[in-house]
Amino acid sequence: MSADARASAQQGGDVVGDLVIGARSGGPEPEGEGAEQLDGSDGSADAASAASADETTGSPKKKPKQRSFWKELPILVGIALILALVIKTFFVQAFSIPSGSMQNTLQIGDRVLVDKLTPWFGAEPERGEVVVFHDPGGWLSDEPAQQSDNAFVRGVQDVLSFVGLMPSANEKDLIKRVIAVGGDTVECQGTGPVKVNGNALDEPYIFPGNTPCGDKPFGPVQVPDNRIWVMGDHRADSLDSRFHQDQPGGGTVPVDNVVGRAFVVAWPISNWATLPVPDTFDQKGLAAAALPYAPPAAGAAIALPAVWWLRRYRR
């Protein structure tokens, strides 16, 4: 190698013998795509390789384990009992018919559903309704509670009656038909008919062979405010208001004692029926004597504020 060539080679790199190693062109090194190609990779291969590794090594997502039916069953039963208790307390309750005092409208052993909701909104018993009410005192004093002799059965009955799924044997409740309400005058002379405020009632629901008065004529009786006069449909087999006139209230029942109105016979299915108010209680003039001043009072209640507002407006 000549001296000039050797000197040129030393400027560009190292010399090992006659071979130049690490020779450089003297121009700028390649950048951008060229540089990446020199590295031998554009990054896509690494990403694909990483994704493939994740798929092969990653564990599958575990599905949430469903709770066993037997673990959920107590929760479901508890919710059902709570709902039943709420319904019994505020909405509807079942009652059993223990006697024949309401035949043939109700038979012994029938189960009726009683509306307990409307009294919460101030509704009061009306003439002709079949109602359940608490013993006002002395009406059921001689009747023992009907319970099973088996302790286990009694316990089950107590639980079911507490939540409203079965009538209670301990509650002293009665079921009768409302004949008159507070302010009414009611009477029944001889064999009848029963009269309310001087209007005779047509009572097709009375047990066949009975007379409207049964064997206990009464009246006239003035029913006090917030009380009701009740009678059974089986007049010859019903110890109702007629037989308790010597007690406080003169045989009438406080409205506060009324549990609610029986509106349907729910059991047995063969006896299923609704319990509507008979048409005789819708006759004109039945309530006229009880509330003779109601229409004028209502008119005055509306007119007085209207007159006051007009006079104020004219000023």
14 and 140 together in one domain: no
Q: Quick check: is 113 in a domain?
A: yes
200 and 127 together in one domain: yes
| 232 burial via Cβ count (<10 Å: 0-12, 13-18, 19+) | buried
* pLDDT interval class at 60 (50, 70, 90): low
Tens-digit pLDDT profile for residues 81-97: 677 666 655 578 888 89
**Number of structural domains in the chain:** 2
Q: Which of 87, 111, 109, 88 is nearest to 99 (CA)?
A: 109
Q: Which of 130, 58, 61, 119 is nearest to 92 (CA)?
A: 119
pLDDT recorded at residue 309: 56
pLDDT recorded at residue 37: 42
250 and 104 together in one domain: yes
pLDDT recorded at residue 104: 93
CB 179 within 8 A of CB 227: no
* pLDDT interval class at 122 (50, 70, 90): confident
Task: Give the residue-averaged pLDDT of 233-249.
Answer: 94
Q: 135 versus 289: which is more confidently predicted? A: 135
pLDDT recorded at residue 88: 58
Task: Give the residue-averaged pLDDT of 107-133.
Answer: 90
d(CA 111, CA 132): 12
Show the domain range for 47. 3-51
d(CA 197, CA 185): 5
265 and 116 together in one domain: yes
Number of C-beta neighbours around residue 291 at 10 A = 13
* pLDDT interval class at 138 (50, 70, 90): confident
pLDDT recorded at residue 278: 96
107 and 45 together in one domain: no
147 and 288 together in one domain: yes
Chain-centre distance of CA 147, in angstroms?
A: 29
* pLDDT interval class at 27 (50, 70, 90): very low
Task: Give the residue-averaged pLDDT of 261-276.
Answer: 94
Which residues on adjacent β-strands are paired with residue 258? 133
Tens-digit pLDDT profile for residues 168-223: 555 678 999 999 999 999 999 999 999 999 999 999 999 999 999 999 999 899 99
For residue 144, what is the domain's CATH number?
2.10.109.10
Q: Residue 46 pLDDT > 90, yes or no?
A: no
Specify the pTM. Answer: 0.63
Q: 165 versus 219: which is more confidently predicted? A: 219
- Where in the sequence numbering do the catalytic residues fall? 101, 176
Place of tokens 């001689």: 142
pLDDT recorded at residue 76: 76
* pLDDT interval class at 8 (50, 70, 90): very low
Q: Quick check: is 133 in a domain?
A: yes
Q: What is the DSSP annotation of 37-60?
A: HHHT--SHHHHHHHHHHHHHHSPP
229 and 281 together in one domain: yes
Q: Quick check: is 148 in a domain?
A: yes
18 and 161 together in one domain: no
220 and 149 together in one domain: yes
181 and 114 together in one domain: yes
pLDDT recorded at residue 118: 80
287 and 213 together in one domain: yes
121 and 240 together in one domain: yes
SS3 130: strand
Going from the C-alpha of 188 to that of each of 185, 198, 231, the distances in angstroms are 11, 10, 12
Q: What is the mean pLDDT of the chain?
A: 75
Q: Quick check: is 142 in a domain?
A: yes
Non-local (6+) Cβ contacts of 209 within 8 A are: 236
Q: Residue 310 pLDDT > 50, yes or no?
A: yes
Amino acid identity at 32: G
- Which segments of the chain does DSSP mark as H helices, in order? 3-12, 33-39, 44-57, 69-90, 151-162, 294-314
